C-alpha cells in the first residue's frame, strides 16, 4: 500500500515538474501558441497554455482573454462543470472584459448542456434556464437571442415532459384526479411547449371516461391542428359522435 502511495506521489511530482519545466514565453507569444492549440482542437494543450498566461502574466493585457478561452477550452471538451467555474471567475474578476457577452452565453450553455434528462432531478435544468434568461435580460439585442430562446424552449419542454410522465403514472395507478393536476399544470405553465398537446390529449381522455363529453370534444378538436395528434383526435371524436347518435336513436325508439 505504501508503495502505491509513493508511486502516486512521485507521478504527481513528475507531472508538476514537467509542467513547470516548460519555458514561459512572453504573453503575446504564449497567447498565440494557446490559440493555435485551441483552433487545432488540442484542448488539453490549450488549457495548459492559457493557464501559463494566467500564472506567469497575471497583469498582462492577455489575462482576461486567456481566462475566457480557458473556459471555452473546457466547454469544447464537454467539461461543462469546469467551464462554468472558469466563466464565473472571469465574470467576477474581469467585469469589463470584451468577452463579457460571450462569457454569459457560454456559461448559460454550459449549465444547459450539463443538465440531466427529464427523468432525473431537474435542479440543474432550472439553474440553466435561469442563466439563459439572465443572458436575454442583459443582452436583449444580441445576435445570439434566437439560439438562447430555442434552448429555453427545449428546457421548458423537458420540464413539461417530466410533469407529463408524472401524470401518466397516476393514470396507470387509476388516480385520474391526481393525473389531471399534472396535465393542467402543463397547460397553464408550459402552453407553448411541444408536449402541451400531449397533456391536452390525456386530459381529454380522462374527461371522456368520466362523462365530461363536451369538455373532451373541445380538447380533441383543438388537437386537429396538430399533425402528430390529429389522427388520434379524429378517431376519438368519431367514436364519441357515433355513441351519441346511437344513444339518440335508442331514446327515439
Q: pLDDT band for 34, please (50, 70, 90 cuts).
A: very high
Cβ contacts of 64-69, under 8 Å, gap ≥ 24: 64/90, 64/93, 64/94, 64/97, 64/99, 65/31, 65/97, 65/98, 65/99, 66/31, 66/34, 67/93, 67/94, 67/97, 68/97, 68/99, 68/102, 68/103, 69/34, 69/35, 69/38
In angstroms, the Cα distances linking 126 to 129, 155, 210 are 5, 8, 35
Return the C-alpha cell found at 104. 454569459
Is the pLDDT assigned to residue 14 strictly greater than 70? Answer: no
pTM for this entry: 0.79
Question: What residue spans of 40-122 are helical by DSSP H?
Answer: 43-56, 63-76, 80-93, 100-114
Distance separating alpha carbons of residues 248 and 253, to the nearest angstrom: 9
Angstrom distance (rounded) from CA 223 to CA 213:
15
What's the pLDDT score for residue 94? 94
- pLDDT tens figures, 45-60: 999 999 999 999 999 9
Q: Does domain 23-109 have CATH number 1.25.40.10?
A: yes
Chain position carrying cell 336513436: 249
Q: Which residue has the higher pLDDT, 241 or 132?
A: 132
Q: Is the confidence at residue 248, as pLDDT, over 80? A: no
pLDDT tens-digit map of 98-151: 999 999 999 999 999 999 888 888 899 999 999 999 999 999 999 999 999 999
pLDDT digits (tens, 9 = 90+) for 176-209: 999 999 999 999 999 999 999 999 999 999 999 9
Q: pLDDT of 55-92, one tens digit each?
A: 999 999 999 999 999 999 999 999 999 999 999 999 99
Amino acid at each position: 500500500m505504501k508503495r502505491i502511495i509513493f508511486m502516486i506521489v512521485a507521478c504527481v511530482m513528475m507531472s508538476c515538474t514537467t509542467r513547470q519545466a516548460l519555458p514561459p514565453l512572453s504573453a503575446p507569444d504564449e497567447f498565440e501558441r494557446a490559440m493555435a492549440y485551441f483552433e487545432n482542437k488540442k484542448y488539453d494543450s490549450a488549457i495548459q497554455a492559457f493557464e501559463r498566461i494566467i500564472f506567469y502574466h497575471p497583469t498582462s493585457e492577455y489575462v482576461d482573454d486567456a481566462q475566457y478561452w480557458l473556459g471555452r477550452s473546457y466547454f469544447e471538451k464537454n467539461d461543462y462543470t469546469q467551464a462554468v467555474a472558469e466563466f464565473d471567475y472571469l465574470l467576477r474578476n474581469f467585469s469589463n472584459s470584451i468577452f463579457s457577452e460571450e462569457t454569459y452565453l457560454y456559461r448559460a450553455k454550459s449549465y444547459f448542456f450539463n443538465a440531466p434528462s427529464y427523468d432525473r432531478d431537474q435542479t440543474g435544468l432550472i439553474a440553466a434556464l435561469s442563466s439563459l434568461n439572465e443572458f436575454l435580460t442583459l443582452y436583449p439585442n444580441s445576435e445570439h437571442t434566437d439560439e438562447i430562446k430555442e434552448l429555453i424552449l427545449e428546457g421548458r419542454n423537458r420540464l413539461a415532459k417530466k410533469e407529463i410522465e408524472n401524470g401518466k403514472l397516476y393514470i396507470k395507478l387509476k388516480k385520474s384526479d391526481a393525473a389531471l393536476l399534472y396535465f393542467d399544470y402543463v397547460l397553464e405553465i408550459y402552453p407553448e411547449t411541444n408536449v402541451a398537446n400531449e397533456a391536452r390529449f390525456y386530459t381529454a381522455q380522462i374527461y371522456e371516461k368520466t362523462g365530461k363529453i363536451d369538455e373532451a370534444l373541445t380538447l380533441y378538436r383543438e388537437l386537429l391542428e396538430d399533425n402528430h395528434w390529429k389522427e388520434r383526435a379524429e378517431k376519438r371524436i368519431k367514436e364519441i359522435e357515433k355513441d351519441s347518435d346511437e344513444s339518440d336513436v335508442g331514446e327515439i325508439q
